C-alpha cells in the first residue's frame, strides 16, 4: 500500500494482527458513508488542530488513523511545505483517501506497529483513532518515529463517552454495545510515565444531538462503529428497538437526543537529545 511514501521514512508494513481485523473491516465498509455522518468528528479534529503550532516548518508530518483523509488535507494546508502522509488500519479508508486526495501520500498500517524508521517524523497528528489502541504502545511507537524535538498532537476518547447509549442499552439486554475507555486521569498517568514531555492534556465534552434513536444508530453504522446486536446476540427486533427508544428518551432535551463524547486533547513533546 506504500505508493509514494518517501523511502527515507517508510519501512515494510507488517500484516494486520488478527484481533484488529474486525476494526479494519468495519471501517473499510464505512469509507463511502463516513463523511456524511462525521459532524462531531470534524468538530473534534478542528479543535485538535489548534494544537498544531504555526511557527514550525516540519519536513515530514503523519496523520494516524486518517480515515477518509478529510482531516489530513487540513493538516497539509497547515504545513504546505511538508510531506504529509495519512495512515489507516482500514485499507478501504486509505484507498478512499487516495482517490479523493491523490496529491498526498497514503498507506495502511497499525498505529501500534508503525511502518516507519526511528527518529524520522517532525509532527504526528491523530484525531479520534488512538482510542482503538493500547495507549502505552501508541506512545512508545510515536516516540520512536518522531525526531527529537518532535510533536504529537491528538484527540482521543475517555470514560463516559456515549454514556447515554450505554445506559439505554443496559435497559434492553446485558451485551456490550459501546466500547469502554479509560478515565482521563488514568490516561494522563500513562502519558506521565512515558518518555514524552506533557504540554497539555485537556478533557472536554462534545455532544451531538439526534432527532431519533434510529438516526443515531444509522449514523453509528455509517461511521463504522458497530453498536447494534450481532446475529448471535439476538439482532435488532422491533421490540428491542422500541425498548431502546423508551430508555433513551429519558435523556431527551429540546435539541434532541444527546450523545456525549468525552474528548481528550493532547499535545506531547519528544525531548531534544541532551549532549
Ligand X SMILES: C[S@@+](CC[C@H](N)C(=O)[O-])C[C@H]1O[C@@H](n2cnc3c(N)ncnc32)[C@H](O)[C@@H]1O
In the complex, the residues that contact ligand X under the rule CB under 6 A are 20, 23, 27, 38, 41, 45, 65-67, 71, 88-90, 93, 110-112, 127-129, 132-133
Q: Is 171 helix (H, G, I), strand (E, B) or coil?
A: coil
Closest CB 254 distance from ligand X, rounded Å: 28
In the complex, least distance from residue 16 CB atom to ligand X, rounded to whole angstroms: 9
Nearer to ligand X, 38 or 217 (CB): 38
Cβ nearer to ligand X, comparing 132 with 247: 132
Smallest gap, in angstroms, from Cβ of residue 65 to ligand X? 3
Residue 29 or 56: the one with the smaller Cβ distance to ligand X is 29
Whether the Cβ atoms of residue 201 and residue 212 lie closer than 8 Å to each other? no
Alpha-carbon span 173 to 177, nearest angstrom: 10
| Contact status, residue 136 vs residue 194, Cβ threshold 8 Å | yes
Sheet of strand 121-127: strand arrangement = 105-108, 83-88, 60-64, 121-127, 146-157, 257-269, 197-210
Q: What is the DSSP letter of 131?
A: G
User: Closest residue to ligand X, Cβ-based?
Assistant: 67
Task: Provide, rounded to whole angstroms, the least separation between the CB of residue 202 and ligand X.
Answer: 18
Residues 6+ apart with CB under 8 A from 271: 148, 149, 195, 196, 197
| Cβ(172)–Cβ(240) below 8 Å | yes
User: Closer CB to ligand X, residue 82 or residue 111?
Assistant: 111
Q: How far is the CB of 159 from ligand X (least distance, A)?
A: 18
In angstroms, give the least distance from the CB of 113 to ligand X: 8
**Residue listed under C-alpha cell 428518551:** 249
Nearer CB in complex with ligand X: 9/247: 9
Backbone angles phi, psi at 53, to 5 degrees: -70, 145
Task: Report yes or no: 88 and 63 within 8 Å, Cβ to Cβ.
Answer: no
Nearer to ligand X, 62 or 247 (CB): 62
- We find the least distance from the C-beta atom of residue 273 to ligand X, in angstroms, to be 28
Euclidean distance between CA atoms 170 and 161, whole angstroms = 15
What span, in angstroms and rounded, lies between the C-alpha atoms of 261 and 257? 13
Amino acid at each position: 500500500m506504500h505508493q509514494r511514501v518517501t523511502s527515507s521514512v517508510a519501512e515494510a508494513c507488517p500484516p494486520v494482527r488478527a484481533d484488529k481485523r474486525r476494526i479494519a473491516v468495519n471501517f473499510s465498509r464505512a469509507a463511502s458513508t463516513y463523511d456524511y455522518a462525521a459532524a462531531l468528528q470534524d468538530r473534534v479534529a478542528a479543535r485538535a488542530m489548534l494544537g498544531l503550532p504555526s511557527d514550525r516548518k516540519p519536513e515530514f508530518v503523519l496523520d494516524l488513523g486518517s480515515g477518509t483523509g478529510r482531516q489530513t488535507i487540513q493538516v497539509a494546508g497547515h504545513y504546505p511545505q511538508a510531506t504529509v502522509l495519512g495512515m489507516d488500519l482500514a485499507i478501504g479508508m486509505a484507498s478512499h483517501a487516495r482517490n479523493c486526495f491523490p496529491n498526498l501520500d497514503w498507506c495502511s498500517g497499525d498505529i501500534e506497529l508503525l511502518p516507519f524508521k526511528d527518529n524520522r517524523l517532525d509532527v504526528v497528528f491523530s484525531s479520534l483513532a488512538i482510542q482503538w489502541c493500547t495507549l502505552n504502545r501508541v506512545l512508545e511507537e510515536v516516540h520512536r518515529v518522531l525526531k527529537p524535538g518532535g510533536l504529537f498532537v491528538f484527540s482521543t476518547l475517555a470514560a463516559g463517552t456515549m454514556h447515554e447509549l450505554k445506559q439505554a442499552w443496559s435497559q434492553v439486554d446485558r451485551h456490550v454495545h459501546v466500547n469502554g475507555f479509560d478515565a482521563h486521569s488514568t490516561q494522563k498517568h500513562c502519558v506521565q510515565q512515558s518518555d514524552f514531555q506533557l504540554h497539555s492534556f485537556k478533557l472536554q465534552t462534545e455532544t451531538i444531538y439526534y432527532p431519533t434513536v434510529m438516526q443515531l444508530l444509522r449514523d453509528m453504522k455509517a461511521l463504522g462503529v458497530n453498536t447494534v446486536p450481532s446475529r448471535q446476540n439476538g439482532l435488532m427486533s422491533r421490540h428491542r428497538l422500541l425498548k431502546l427508544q423508551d430508555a433513551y428518551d429519558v435523556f431527551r432535551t429540546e435539541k434532541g437526543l444527546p450523545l456525549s463524547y468525552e474528548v481528550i486533547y493532547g499535545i506531547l513533546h519528544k525531548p531534544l537529545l541532551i549532549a
